[in-house]
Structure 1
Amino acid sequence: MQNYRKSNFKNLTLVVILIIAQIQAQDFNYINKGSDWTGTCLSGSLQSPIDISDVQGSCDNTMNLTMQLSNQNLSTQILKSQVLSSTAPANQYWSYLYASNLDGVISGYQSNYFSIHSPAENYLNGSQADVELQILHTINPNFAQTAPSSSTEPITQYAIVSIMFSVSDSSTSTFFSSYDPTKASAQAASAPQISLNMTQALSSLDLTSSYYLYQGSLTIPPCTESVNWYVYSAVQPITSAQLSNISIFFKGDLQFAKGAGNNRPLQSVNGRTIKKGNIQCEEQFIHFFSFFVIYTFLNFFVCKML
């Protein structure tokens, strides 16, 4: 079993490497907004991104999302192709993640890669943010196994933590102060080395704040449908100047997809379950309130009898 897990993990890591290589080789583009992408991108039923709605979502206080960001200064490069992206050094990770799936089964993941899309790909209640940071996690080999018999969902091989940013000229993004897109290069050979501390860069994000969970896919070819999406509902600030440093590569560049940005269009939800975590569920509040009223009434009644 241990050898199987190691082999499976190597295969998953290889897939991530191939994804990164494909992005850098620019084997796909956004000129037709993904309508010319083939394979699972065309035929899949669990495609991402989607418009995440509170109406569709169901509250679940049993869900778990624990992300530990690296507190080390890691050396990396900002590569610009179809996305802005960065890879952690060998045997180093941007973050570790322990999270439950739709059935409540907890798995462990680690991330050595993240990418940036502008404008955002996933929507929140019909609203599109200016930027979306997607931190791609690969399942830890200790969790790369068959789901328990009680689970109706398979163990997903990837987990993407999504963080939204929208312009607020009263606040500066700590992430894009640390991660400067003006240092991006299309070639690794010419890209300067930068130092990035994820804990410091994302210090403005409350990792215990509310989020949405749904099962979907990668938003770029091969659009693999083995991804749990964890999308934070709190939108982070970014100044217009910081946004310009990103959009100049995509939405602000008429030579790039005719200035349409590097976001895949919304895909059909197809009746998927969307759960909300790290919030007080209304049903549980009602049950607590009802218990409190009954408890108060009984105390009052008993006191009257004495």
Structure 2
Amino acid sequence: MKSLISLCLLSFILHLSSCADWCYQTKGDCKGAENWKDINAECGGKRQSPINIVTKTTELDKRLTPFTLNGYQTVFDSTVKKNNYTVEVAINTTATISGGNLEDTYKPLQFHLHWGTNGVQGSEHTIDGEQYPMELHIVHIKQKYNTLQEAFTDPSGLAAFGFFLEESNSNNTNFDSLIDALGSMQNKSGSVSIRNISASQFVLPEVNLSSYYRYNGSLTIPNCGESVIWTVFEKPVPLSKTQLQFFSSLKLDDGTPMVGTFRPVQLRYGRTVYRSSSPAVLASVVLLFVSITTTWSLSHLY
């Protein structure tokens, strides 16, 4: 059932517009991201994603507590799909998330990736204008829904987790199985099996689930449905330069490099971005207090 729902996610989104209709960069009959609203009007809406998160304008929300994750460490076998838009892995487990001021319990469907060119500037969300090399999204649907059609009628029908990926000095072995699987279809679209993975292994060992940003947004590809509660985590996941560059070695069906697979940031239109009351935020406050206190103490020594 889980696999069926994940396949539904991919087919539902992609049947709304064919490859000839949209792509990330305009070429031939394919409309680039700046013209997606000509294909789906909702892509020109006022609750679109991704956005640039300006940290100094975010608002602290103490209701943004740590998440409760069940079943994320359960090991399962799955399928890696590569198309002309992304790389996607179905999450074939009965995991759930709750907490974090989400109004309901959600279940994960799949995760996918966005990247730039040659391992640089490929994330969809940006932080204070900074674009990370890659971004990984885990897409969830409310547990009570069985189809995306149902979820899209609910303004909070989907919950997406966004994780930044940054360059590290060493390989992240948690990504080895994914990169090995993709190596067998580097030059073509298709799918391949991947074994003994978990929903948590690619991101959660590295990320503090207490430190994140929250806003109301949309899917980042057509149909751009505005039914997504976004959680963008502050701490990036490390990958080596070689691992980041591997994704730029993938090819589209026409043989050209599969690069720049991200939508540019969209206007916020007055939406508030909230931040969690995380240990990282508290640590910054404590550090600032210590700095001020030390400066005051030193000033009174002379």
Normalising by structure 1, report the TM-score.
Answer: 0.71
Q: CA deviation at 1:276?
A: 0.8
Q: CA deviation at 1:123?
A: 0.5
User: Is 1:115–1:134's contact at 8 Å kept on the other side of the alignment?
Assistant: yes
Q: Rg larger in 1 or in 2?
A: 1
Once residues 159 and 87 of structure 1 are traced to their aligned partners in structure 2, the CA distance between those partners, rounded to angstroms, is 16
Residues 175/223 of structure 1: CA separation in 2 closer, same or farther (3 Å cut) = farther
Residues 99/228 of structure 1: CA separation in 2 closer, same or farther (3 Å cut) = farther
Deviation string 1:109-157 (CA, Å, 9 cap, x unpaired) is 111211100011000122111110011101111899xxxxxxxxx7501
User: Is 1:129–1:166's contact at 8 Å kept on the other side of the alignment?
Assistant: yes
Once residues 12 and 241 of structure 1 are traced to their aligned partners in structure 2, the CA distance between those partners, rounded to angstroms, is 30
Q: How does 1:27-42 map to 2 (within 5 A)?
A: 27-32=21-26, 33-38=32-37, 39-42=40-43
Residues 272/31 of structure 1: CA separation in 2 closer, same or farther (3 Å cut) = same
Once residues 60 and 233 of structure 2 are traced to their aligned partners in structure 1, the CA distance between those partners, rounded to angstroms, is 14
Identity %: 24
Name the structure 2 match of 1:245.
246
Q: CA deviation at 1:206?
A: 3.3
AA at the equivalent of 1:135: I
Name the structure 2 match of 1:150.
none
Name the structure 2 match of 1:52.
53
User: Is 2:162–2:233's contact at 8 Å kept on the other side of the alignment?
Assistant: yes
Q: How does 1:16-95 map to 2 (within 5 A)?
A: 17-19=11-13, 27-32=21-26, 33-38=32-37, 39-64=40-65, 65-68=67-70, 69-89=72-92, 92-93=93-94, 95=95
Q: CA deviation at 1:274?
A: 0.7
Q: CA deviation at 1:167?
A: 0.9
- The reply to whether residue 141 of structure 1 matches residue 144 of structure 2 is yes
User: Is 1:97–1:108's contact at 8 Å kept on the other side of the alignment?
Assistant: yes
Alignment counterpart, residue 114 of structure 1, candidates 96, 111, 116? 111
Once residues 179 and 266 of structure 1 are traced to their aligned partners in structure 2, the CA distance between those partners, rounded to angstroms, is 27
User: Is 2:111–2:136's contact at 8 Å kept on the other side of the alignment?
Assistant: yes
Name the structure 2 match of 1:269.
268
Once residues 19 and 200 of structure 1 are traced to their aligned partners in structure 2, the CA distance between those partners, rounded to angstroms, is 26
User: Is 1:30–1:262's contact at 8 Å kept on the other side of the alignment?
Assistant: yes
Q: CA deviation at 1:41?
A: 4.4
Residues 140/17 of structure 1: CA separation in 2 closer, same or farther (3 Å cut) = farther
Give the paired residue count: 255
Once residues 223 and 117 of structure 1 are traced to their aligned partners in structure 2, the CA distance between those partners, rounded to angstroms, is 16
- The reply to whether residue 231 of structure 1 matches residue 232 of structure 2 is yes
Normalising by structure 2, report the TM-score.
Answer: 0.72
Name the structure 1 match of 2:129.
126
Name the structure 2 match of 1:147.
none
Residues 27/183 of structure 1: CA separation in 2 closer, same or farther (3 Å cut) = farther
Secondary structure of 1:242's counterpart equals helix
Once residues 74 and 277 of structure 1 are traced to their aligned partners in structure 2, the CA distance between those partners, rounded to angstroms, is 34
Once residues 227 and 80 of structure 1 are traced to their aligned partners in structure 2, the CA distance between those partners, rounded to angstroms, is 23
Q: CA deviation at 1:209?
A: 3.4
Residues 78/17 of structure 1: CA separation in 2 closer, same or farther (3 Å cut) = closer
- The reply to whether residue 164 of structure 1 matches residue 164 of structure 2 is yes
User: Is 2:248–2:257's contact at 8 Å kept on the other side of the alignment?
Assistant: no
Long gaps (5+) in structure 2: 27-31, 116-121, 148-153, 290-302
Name the structure 1 match of 2:172.
173
